[in-house]
């Protein structure tokens, strides 16, 4: 059940001096505060190792808001709710003093024992922090206790399970909120509404009418300063195991019997259970990896992945993945879902293209020509909207067809200001709505699907690396993956809202 719409809580952020806290969490809390979605009775404790005086921490939060939100409205009042506690999370003895501060603020702000513990820290600390919070009695017995965990949740299924088992000793599944920030994006949440609130799509949403689905999430940036992390991860673990498979689950799930957390999650889990597992040659037939070479990105010459900081000059890590996913159930049998994601690609964009099957007979073209297929394009980011590609009559004497695009863009709606994913997810967590967070079953099934691919790629060095130029849309093999099936990737730039 969703709780109070204006929740009161003590939010303890571990990793309070880090990048995520400064770029996303403080601005998101400020937005909630300004929109009056936070009760005046709230407090935030920032936790990290470095020694900071309370006013230094408040100044850091103030700077984060000025830089990322750009306003100082009620800022003094907002930052007055922020406290700081210096602590090394791996030292269990340090939690005693933190507990004193937590209890003190709980009483001072009358927070009714409602506690959110946000772990914005390196994943190796997740288990230790959860255990210490439990053992040092920082969980309250009178209000709610919620543990928010950032990605990555494990490196593969065994490590994810070990982490989950560790956390579950301290927090129940209901108390754990595993962040997948794609699930906080407006248009990802809109997938469900487009499907289940429109009579025209759901009857067609199956293998009788859809020929294939394409999900692209491309970045223009390279690995930046995350070389060390990325070397141990790669695009498959960083993007496919979580964000891409979550989008696939939302696209392919059955309508839930009710729009509540358990029912939606249970339908998504069924999709993930139906993913056709890959082994042996099926892996190289269905998945393609790439690594960026030097090239021109957004008009600037950029270096190759292997030349980036903290990256092995002979690295076997993939910065691009394209794959063909099959779902073995009645609705989707025979419909390929193609995914691709990578760094240093042509443009920053996340889009879903649903390609409908050709009509049975073409009355309007010469026999060797085909009509443009109908496409439904869901623009996730940076544009937000949907476009439906249809064929209509070309004006003039003769009956000829021409493609048109019916376009809805969030930007064009007056006053529309889509909240950031983190803002929505923080608010969901405060209200106790876990729908847009990943359940352990989803995490486990996603790793189970991805692990054989990751293993195969670790065991065989890819001799063609680097195999795509920065600024391109990935290696040629990604195109061949679809050509084998008689399809092609719909170019993301042609599908941009401005080009519609």
| Helix, strand, coil abundance in the chain, percent, nearest 5 | 40, 20, 40
Nearer to ligand NAP, 239 or 376 (CB): 239
**Per rule CB under 6 A, is residue 183 in the interface with ligand NAP?**
no
Contacts with ligand NAP in 2-41 (CB under 6 A)? 15-21, 23
49 belongs to an annotated ligand binding site: yes
Least gap, CB of 254 to ligand NAP (angstroms): 30
Helices within 305-461 (DSSP H only): 421-431, 440-459
Q: Is 151 annotated as a binding residue?
A: yes
Nearer to ligand NAP, 23 or 431 (CB): 23
Distance between CA atoms of 278 and 189, rounded to whole angstroms? 29
Nearest-angstrom CA–CA distance, 317 and 311: 9
Does residue number 429 form part of the binding site for ligand NAP (CB under 6 A)? Answer: no
Question: What residues between 337 and 396 interact with ligand NAP by CB under 6 A?
Answer: none
- Min dist CB 246 to ligand NAP, Å, is 14
- Note if 243 is an active site residue: yes
The SS3 call for residue 15 is coil
Question: DSSP per residue over 445-474, as a string?
Answer: HHHHHHHHHHHHHHHS--TT-S-EEETBSS
Closest separation in Å from C-beta 228 to ligand NAP: 11
Give the number of C-alpha atoms closer than 13 A to the C-alpha of residue 78, restricted to the C-beta side: 26
Distance CA 196, CA 211 (A): 20
Helix orientation angle between 26-34 and 421-431, rounded to the nearest 10 degrees: 70
Pick one of 49, 68, 331, 405: the residue that binds ligand NAP (CB under 6 A).
49
Compute the least distance from the CB of residue 129 to ligand NAP, in Å: 9
Residues 246 and 442 sit within 8 Å (Cβ to Cβ): yes
In the bound state with ligand NAP, the residue whose beta carbon lies nearer, of 49 and 155, is: 49
289 is in an annotated binding site: no
Distance (Å, whole) CA 173 – CA 404: 48
> Site for ligand NAP (CB under 6 A): how many residues?
21
Q: Which residues pair with 323 in a beta bridge?
A: 287, 339
> Does residue 227 interact with ligand NAP by CB under 6 A?
no
The least CB distance from residue 302 to ligand NAP, in Å, is 21
Cα–Cα distance, 409 to 418 (Å, whole number): 12
**SS3 (DSSP) at 42:** strand
Among 44, 120, 275, 444, binds ligand NAP (CB under 6 A): 120
Structure tokens, 360: 């049975």
225 binds ligand NAP (CB under 6 A): no
Is the alpha carbon torsion for 457, 459, 464, 469 positive or negative? positive
Residue 99 marked ligand-binding: no
Interface of this chain with ligand NAP, residues 74 to 93, rule: CB under 6 A: 87-90
Q: What count of other Cβ atoms lies within 10 Å of the Cβ of residue 372?
A: 13
Site string for ligand NAP, 150-169 (x = CB under 6 A): xx------------------
Residue with tokens 């990555």: 152
The closest alpha carbon to 305, from 291, 323, 295, belongs to: 291
The stretch near ligand NAP (CB under 6 A) out of 118-126, 161-169, 256-264, 415-423 is 118-126
* Binding of ligand NAP by 325 (CB under 6 A): no
5 three-class SS: coil
88 is in an annotated binding site: yes
- Out of 121, 322, 445, 456, which residue is the one contacting ligand NAP (CB under 6 A)? 121
75/163 with CB nearer ligand NAP: 163
b/e for 214-239, b at 16 or more Cβ within 10 A?
bbbbbbbebbeebbeebbebbbbbbb
Catalytic residue among 243, 379, 389, 439: 243
With CB under 6 A as the contact rule, which of the stretches 98-106, 114-122, 164-172, 302-310 interacts with ligand NAP?
114-122
Whichever of 86 and 291 has its CB closer to ligand NAP, that residue is 86
**Angle CA 155–130–31, to nearest 5:** 90
Q: Which residue is nearest to ligand NAP (CB)?
A: 18
Of 381, 435, 4, 3, which Cα lies nearest the Cα of 178? 435
Q: Is 185 in the site for ligand NAP (CB under 6 A)?
A: no
Among 2, 122, 169, 416, binds ligand NAP (CB under 6 A): 122
Tell me the three state secondary structure of residue 325.
Answer: strand
Q: Is 53 in the site for ligand NAP (CB under 6 A)?
A: no
Q: Report the residue number, 151 or 340, with the smaller CB distance to ligand NAP.
A: 151
Please report whether residue 224 would count as binding ligand NAP according to CB under 6 A.
Answer: no
Q: What is the residue whose two structure tokens read 């939060």?
A: 61
Q: Which of 48, 65, 453, 497 binds ligand NAP (CB under 6 A)?
A: 48
Phi, psi of 388 (to 5 degrees): -115, 125
Cα torsion 75, 81, 87, 89: sign = negative
Cα 214 to chain centroid, rounded: 17
Applying CB under 6 A, the residues found at the interface with ligand NAP are 15-21, 23, 48-50, 87-90, 120-123, 150-151
Binding positions for NADP(+) are: 49, 88-89, 151
Binding positions are: 49, 88-89, 151, 181, 185, 219, 238, 343, 348
Binding positions for substrate are: 181, 185, 219, 238, 343, 348
Which residues are catalytic, by number?
A: 243
């Amino acid at each position: 059940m969703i709780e109070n719409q204006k929740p009161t809580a003590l939010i303890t952020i571990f990793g309070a001096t880090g990048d995520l806290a400064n770029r996303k969490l403080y601005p998101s809390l400020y937005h909630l505060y300004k929109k009056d979605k936070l009760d005046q009775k709230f407090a935030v404790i920032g936790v990290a190792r470095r020694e900071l005086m309370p006013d230094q921490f408040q100044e850091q939060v103030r700077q984060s808001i000025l830089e990322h939100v750009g306003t100082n409205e009620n800022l003094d009042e907002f930052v007055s709710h922020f406290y700081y506690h210096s602590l090394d999370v791996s030292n269990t003895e340090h939690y005693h003093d933190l507990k004193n501060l937590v209890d003190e603020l709980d009483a001072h702000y009358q927070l009714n024992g409602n506690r959110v513990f946000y772990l914005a820290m390196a994943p190796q600390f997740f288990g230790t922090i959860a255990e210490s919070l439990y053992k040092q009695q920082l969980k309250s017995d009178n209000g709610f206790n919620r543990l928010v965990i950032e990605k990555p949740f494990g490196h593969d299924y065994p490590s994810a399970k070990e982490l989950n088992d560790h956390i579950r000793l301290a927090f129940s599944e209901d108390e754990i909120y595993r962040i997948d920030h794609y699930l906080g994006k407006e248009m990802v949440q809109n997938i469900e509404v487009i499907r289940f609130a429109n009579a025209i799509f759901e009857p067609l949403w199956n293998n009788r009418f859809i020929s294939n689905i394409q999900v692209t999430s491309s970045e223009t940036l390279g690995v930046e300063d995350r070389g060390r992390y990325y070397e141990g991860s790669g695009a498959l673990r960083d993007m496919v195991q979580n964000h891409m498979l979550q989008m696939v689950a939302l696209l392919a799930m059955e309508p839930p019997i009710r729009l509540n957390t358990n029912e939606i999650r249970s339908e998504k889990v069924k999709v993930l259970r139906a993913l056709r597992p890959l082994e042996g040659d099926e892996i190289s037939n269905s998945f393609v990896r790439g690594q960026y070479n030097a090239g021109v990105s957004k008009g600037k010459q950029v270096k190759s992945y292997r030349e980036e900081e903290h990256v092995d000059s002979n690295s076997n890590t993939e910065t691009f993945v394209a794959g063909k996913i099959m779902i073995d159930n009645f609705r989707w049998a025979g419909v390929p879902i193609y995914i691709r994601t990578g760094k240093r690609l042509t443009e920053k964009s996340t889009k879903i293209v649903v390609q409908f099957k050709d009509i049975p007979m073409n009355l309007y073209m010469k026999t060797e020509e085909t009509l443009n297929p109908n496409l439904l394009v869901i623009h996730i980011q940076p544009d937000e909207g949907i476009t439906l590609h249809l064929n209509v009559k070309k004006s003039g004497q003769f009956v000829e067809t021409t493609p048109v695009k019916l376009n809805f863009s969030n930007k064009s709606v007056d006053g529309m200001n889509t909240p950031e994913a983190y803002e929505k997810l923080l608010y969901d967590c405060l209200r106790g709505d876990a729908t847009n967070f990943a359940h352990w079953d989803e995490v486990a099934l996603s790793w189970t699907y991805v692990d054989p691919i990751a293993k195969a790629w670790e065991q065989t060095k890819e001799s063609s690396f680097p195999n795509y130029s920065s600024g391109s849309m990935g290696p040629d093999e990604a195109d061949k993956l679809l050509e084998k099936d008689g399809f092609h990737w719909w170019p993301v730039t042609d599908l941009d809202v401005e080009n519609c």
